[in-house]
Amino acid sequence: MNNFKRVLKFAWTDFSRNRSNNFAAIFVLALPILLATSLFVFQGISEYIIYEVKGKMDVTAFFQQDVAESDILRVKDELIDLSPEIKSVTYVSKDQAMENFIARHQNDPDFSEALEEVGVNPFLSSLDIVTDDPLQYEKVAFFLEAGPYAQLIDKVDYSQKKDTIEKVFSITANVNRFGLVLGIILFLIAILVVLNTIKLSIDSSKDEITTMKLVGASDWFIRGPFIVQGIICGFAAFLICFVISVSLIFLLSPNIAFLTPGFTIAHYFTSHLLIVLLIQLGFGVGLGALASFILARSYLKV
């Protein structure tokens, strides 16, 4: 306990004495914390956009004109049980299809006149299928066109949408991959900068380290004050970054809400507040302590 108190005392003394270096270390530690927070928020935005885009990618199965609604609902149940990757199956009746068409083209009299000339409802009942896996669309199309319900099907529009579906899923996969690679590169750069900055602070105490080592101090006793200083710097950087993050999130959220309708950055931030706190505190304290541990070790060989 006495050694622990001495470590804390030496750590605070060194921290107070090397204020300029420690302030620089706090500033540098704040960069990866803000970077990690930004990437976390960006990940949330990209996941929402990807989710919305995927939700608009669907395959529609149109049924023969005389197929009963009960038969269509039976096919719907079969599709839901076909694979857990199938996200939703929506039944659209002939009457609903006609109402949707009229609502979309209510300002175009030509379409209204064309419907009046036809005299009957020309639309077919259908099922709109959405999945989280592009490979499932092909499986669904094969099941409908060559399975036990093939005689009920008029057509499945998978072939017309196949290229678009594959491109959308390919783009979303590339976005996730790019974000991961970019994050790794930026974090490696940030860690190198943190190591070099904290090294300046420890360099000023290398003579003391040598003296303590010569008089028989243990490695942990020598290393302890620097690790505590790293923790203090990391915690200070965490507090600063948390205030900056909260301020920026709530200032910018209303201004960029139009880019992601239905998604509010402020709500996402507050709903994941515990994760954000853990990320910021972990990066701040973890990097500060780890960098001090690694760098102090290099001075222990006398």
Q: Token pair for residue 177?
A: 């991959």
The pLDDT assigned to 300 comes to 58
Categorise residue 216: left if φ over 0, alpha if ψ from -120 to 50, beta otherwise: left
- Could you please report the per-residue DSSP string of 132-165? S-HHHHHHHHHHHHHSTTGGGEEEETHHHHHHHH
The pLDDT-based confidence of 12 (bands split at 50, 70, 90) is low
Q: Please give the Cα distance from 297 to 219 (Å, whole number).
A: 8
Sequence-distant (≥ 6) Cβ neighbours of residue 72 within 8 angstroms:
63, 91, 125, 127, 152
Across 117-141, average pLDDT: 79
10 pLDDT higher than 70:
no
The pLDDT assigned to 96 comes to 87
pLDDT in tens, 30-72: 888 888 888 888 878 777 877 777 666 778 889 988 888 888 8
The pLDDT-based confidence of 202 (bands split at 50, 70, 90) is low
Instruction: List the one residue out of 212, 234, 189 whose CA is nearest residue 296.
Output: 212
Sequence-distant (≥ 6) Cβ neighbours of residue 208 within 8 angstroms:
none
The pLDDT-based confidence of 15 (bands split at 50, 70, 90) is low
* Residues above pLDDT 70, as percent of the chain: 72
Q: Residue for token digits 């972990």?
A: 282
Q: Token pair for residue 94?
A: 């002939």
Sequence-distant (≥ 6) Cβ neighbours of residue 299 within 8 angstroms:
202, 206, 209, 210
Which element (helix H / strand E) includes 63?
A: strand 59-63
73 pLDDT higher than 80:
yes
- Which residue ranges make up each domain of the chain? 2-53+169-297, 57-160
Architecture, CATH, for domain 57-160: 2-Layer Sandwich (3.30)
* Residues above pLDDT 90, as percent of the chain: 2
The pLDDT-based confidence of 258 (bands split at 50, 70, 90) is low
Q: Token pair for residue 115?
A: 């419907």
Model pTM score: 0.63
Considering the chain, what is the average pLDDT of its residues? 77
Q: Please give the Cα distance from 40 to 43 (Å, whole number).
A: 5
Residue of 43 and 113 predicted with greater confidence: 43
